[in-house]
Chains A and B, each alone.
Chain A
Amino acid sequence: KQEVTQIPAALSVPEGENLVLNCSFTDSAIYNLQWFRQDPGKGLTSLLLIQSSQREQTSGRLNASLDKSSGRSTLYIAASQPGDSATYLCAISNSGYALNFGKGTSLLVTP
Chain B
Amino acid sequence: DAGVIQSPRHEVTEMGQEVTLRCKPISGHNSLFWYRQTMMRGLELLIYFNNNVPIDDSGMPEDRFSAKMPNASFSTLKIQPSEPRDSAVYFCASNKDGSYGYTFGSGTRLTVV
Same complex for A and B? Answer no
B→A interface (CB under 8 Å): none
